[in-house]
Amino acid sequence: MKVILLERIERLGTMGQTVSVRPGYARNCLLPQKKALRATKENLDMFEKQRAEMESKNEVLRVQAEEVSKTFKGLQLIIIRQASEVGMLFGSVTARDIAEAAKKADKPVERQMVQIDTPIKMLGLFSVKVKLHPEVIIDITINVARSEAEAKVQVEKKALEAKEAAKEAKAQAEKAIVEAIGTEEPAEKAKEVAKSEAPAEEATEDKEDAK
């Protein structure tokens, strides 16, 4: 089925594009959520007449979303759940749970804005995408723990792991540089030897010519 996109859809297209999608996806998602129109002649004509107005409105909303996104910087939502000794949750953390936690933190997030493929079923720190606008998608950290104290420990552990990873990456980079220099030295020495031998060879040739 061909539809006209009314907003940017990831991996599909941008506002105003006519694209082909599966009929079920169009009927169950794009059309009822008013993210697209059927690509009929009437709808194409209507969209072209309203294109400038729709694009202007979209730009205003995008700028507003960009401003809102700044308030999410460094945001970490702690969600307390019961779990087994190995960290498996007795239940799960869904998009709805994340949206509710965000609202408690005074962040304007609806369930539909949370992009999570499968519910979270383990303790730990998770990066989740939130779509504030079709063109403004941010990452927030979800800290799933059995208590506030455990949530704090998980953050400290993650920071330590990141520090160790950075240290290891630096060591590997330095090692690579040393190895690169080591392989270059013989070549440089060979060039120096070649340069030092060149005058001697030229002198020998000159003597033979003189004879």
Query: What per-residue confidence (pLDDT) applies to 84?
Result: 95
pTM higher than 0.75: no
* Per-residue pLDDT, 18: 94
Calpha distance 6→35 (Å, rounded): 5
**Helix (H), strand (E) at residue 3:** strand 2-5
pLDDT digits (tens, 9 = 90+) for 80-113: 999 999 999 999 999 999 999 999 999 989 999 9
Q: Give the pLDDT of residue 180.
A: 81
Q: How far apart are CA 62 and CA 99, in angstroms?
A: 20
Q: What is the mean pLDDT of residues 7-21?
A: 91
* DSSP H or E segment with residue 78: strand 76-80
DSSP for 120-160 reads EEESEEEEEEEEEETTEEEEEEEEEESSHHHHHHHHHHHHH
Q: How confident is the model at residue 10 (pLDDT cuts 50, 70, 90)?
A: confident
Q: Does pLDDT of 210 surpass 60?
A: no
Asked whether the predicted pLDDT for residue 201 surpasses 90, the reply is no
Mean of pLDDT over the chain: 87
**Higher confidence at residue 161 or residue 89?**
89
Q: d(Cα 59, Cα 79) in Å, to the nearest integer?
A: 34
